[in-house]
Amino acid sequence: MEIEVLRLSHRLPRDERISTHVALVARAFGASSITYSGQHDAGLELSVSRIAKRWGGRLGGGDFTISYERNHTQFIKKRKREGFAIVHLTMYGIKIRKMIDALAKASPRPDKILIVVGSEAVPPEVYQLADYNVSVTSQPHSEVAALAITLDQLMDGTELERDDFLGEIRIEPSERGKKVVKR
Amino acid sequence: MEIEVLRLSHRLPRDERISTHVALVARAFGASSITYSGQHDAGLELSVSRIAKRWGGRLGGGDFTISYERNHTQFIKKRKREGFAIVHLTMYGIKIRKMIDALAKASPRPDKILIVVGSEAVPPEVYQLADYNVSVTSQPHSEVAALAITLDQLMDGTELERDDFLGEIRIEPSERGKKVVKR
């Protein structure tokens, strides 16, 4: 399954760290790229690209990429035309298990998904364009957490076990301390 | 199972939003409280308390609470003496499924857990005090995401289905749009 992430309406300096976390979660949990709208942020792009290069892409895939898109509505429409199912994460949406079940039953089952991660004020048209408006817990918390849980659920937990990033360095899991291995 | 969260070394203004997200994730995914060390932050406490009050605690439990602790080492030691298993989230730790399996096999099985969420430089003694140093994916991403996945795994996914917060308001999940209901 191919998964892309779209982060809406990035604001500086307010969203600097949150958007970085959103991007790194997208990468670590198996998305292939992140696109963001709002304010252009060369620093965000640099830090995400650096980490993506250092920690690597995956066997059979390229490095995780970040890019900017001025008009997120046009971007969502384009991905829809290309056959992506649009999953918009919002506190107000249906329960995530309901979306996962619906996707499993959909015919044909979508093999490309765009996950849209909002910021404070998401325009109504995003709710209309989404195939699924999805909530993780129906409680206020964090778009970073919602994205992680959604990717984990879409991947059926497999991302927590995978260990096939091909970067310059990788971590050797250890009971205590820090083991970083060069390839 | 009783779960508390400890956020280490909060820094202002850098961690303002990330620590807020950590606290809200703790609440939304079933922890009973968050304690934080580092810089005291009345704004953080106020915003988390307000949300906890408005959105509520749970049947049979009180409201989610936030408190400050100057010395996090002493706090961890105290919780250990009280029978809490200490789970420290770090990129360098063992895989989370390994921790979940170990907890399930532990005898007696701990029914109280303190999850320790680090910041940039975690002192070595935290690694030593922890019963489990645990990583979510062994890749760099976000303490917010790591906490959400860990709570979801510890709760065996049940938090994603629960709907028993007793606040002044709650969300009625909807396919499109926003439905907020007063109790």
For the stretch A58-91, pLDDT in tens is 877 888 999 999 999 999 999 999 999 999 999 9
Q: Which residues on chain B are in Cβ contact (under 8 Å) with A18?
A: 17-18, 21
SS3 B115: strand
Is residue B60 predicted with pLDDT exceeding 80?
A: no
The pLDDT-based confidence of B39 (bands split at 50, 70, 90) is: very high
CA distance B48 to chain A (A): 10
Q: What is the rounded distance in angstroms from the CA atom of residue B124 to the CA atom of residue A59?
A: 34
Report the amino acid identity of residue B60.
Answer: G
Burial level of B174, CB count in 10 A (0-12/13-18/19+)? middle
Q: What is the rounded distance in angstroms from the CA atom of residue B142 to the CA atom of residue B32?
A: 21
The pLDDT-based confidence of B101 (bands split at 50, 70, 90) is: very high
pLDDT tens digits along B10-25: 999 999 999 999 999 9
- Which helix (H) or strand (E) segment holds residue B91: the answer is strand B85-95
For A141, the closest of B24, B92, B176 (CB atoms) is B24
pLDDT of residue B163: 84
Longest dimension (CA), chain B: 49
When pLDDT is averaged across residues B75-89 and rounded to a whole number, the result is: 98
Binary contact (A145, B141; C-beta < 8 A):
no
Q: Which two tokens stand for residue B44?
A: 């953080």
Is residue B120 predicted with pLDDT exceeding 80?
A: no
pLDDT tens digits along A96-148: 999 999 999 998 889 999 999 998 789 999 999 999 999 999 999 999 999 99
pLDDT of residue B140: 96
When pLDDT is averaged across residues A160-180 and rounded to a whole number, the result is: 92
Binary contact (B175, A92; C-beta < 8 A):
no
- Which helix (H) or strand (E) segment holds residue A180: the answer is strand A180-182
Minimum Cα–Cα distance from B137: chain A residue: A160
Residue written as tokens 């999940």? B173
pLDDT tens digits along B121-135: 899 999 999 999 999
The pair phi, psi for residue A76, each rounded to 5°, is -65, -45
Q: What is the rounded distance in angstroms from the CA atom of residue B146 to the CA atom of residue B149?
A: 5
ipTM for the predicted complex comes to 0.96
pLDDT of residue A42: 98
Q: What is the rounded distance in angstroms from the CA atom of residue B38 to the CA atom of residue B71?
A: 8
pLDDT of residue B61: 79
Torsion, CA A15, CA A90, CA B153, CA B90, rounded to 10: 0
Q: Which residues on chain B are in Cβ contact (under 8 Å) with A173?
A: 92-95, 98, 135, 138
Minimum Cα–Cα distance from A123: chain B residue: B177
Average pLDDT taken over every residue of chain B: 95
Residue written as tokens 């170990």? B102
CA distance A97 to chain B (A): 8
Alpha helices in chain A (DSSP H): 16-28, 42-55, 72-81, 96-105, 124-129, 143-154
pLDDT of residue A121: 85
pLDDT of residue B119: 82
Contact A8, A20 (CB under 8 A): no
Is residue B41 predicted with pLDDT exceeding 80?
A: yes
Binary contact (B149, A144; C-beta < 8 A):
no
Is residue B152 predicted with pLDDT exceeding 90?
A: yes
Burial annotation B71-86 (CB, 10 A radius, 16+ → b, else e): ebeebbeebeeeebbb
- What's the Cα-to-Cα distance from B94 to each of B1, B89, B100, B125, B134, rounded to whole Å? 22, 10, 11, 17, 5
Binary contact (A140, B28; C-beta < 8 A):
yes
- What's the Cα-to-Cα distance from A177 to each of A73, A171, B162, B164, rounded to whole Å? 46, 11, 36, 39
Q: Which two tokens stand for residue B19?
A: 């620590």
pLDDT of residue B162: 85
Is residue A1 predicted with pLDDT exceeding 80?
A: yes
Q: Which two tokens stand for residue A41?
A: 């942020």
Binary contact (A21, B144; C-beta < 8 A):
yes
Is residue B51 predicted with pLDDT exceeding 80?
A: yes
- Report the length, in residues, of chain B: 183
The pLDDT-based confidence of B183 (bands split at 50, 70, 90) is: confident
Q: What is the rounded distance in angstroms from the CA atom of residue A8 to the CA atom of residue A14?
A: 13
- Which helix (H) or strand (E) segment holds residue B50: the answer is helix B42-55
Q: Measured in whole angstroms, how far is the alpha carbon of residue B140 from the centre of its chain? A: 19
- Which helix (H) or strand (E) segment holds residue A132: the answer is strand A132-135
CA distance A144 to chain B (A): 6
Choose among A51, A112, A24, A47: nearest CA to B137: A24
pLDDT tens digits along A139-151: 999 999 999 999 9
Burial level of B148, CB count in 10 A (0-12/13-18/19+)? buried
For A137, the closest of B29, B140, B142 (CB atoms) is B29
CA distance A45 to chain B (A): 15
CA distance B70 to chain A (A): 24
Q: Which residues on chain B are in Cβ contact (under 8 Å) with A25?
A: 141-142, 145
pLDDT of residue B109: 87
Q: Which two tokens stand for residue A33?
A: 């790229």
Is residue A39 predicted with pLDDT exceeding 80?
A: yes
pLDDT of residue A155: 92
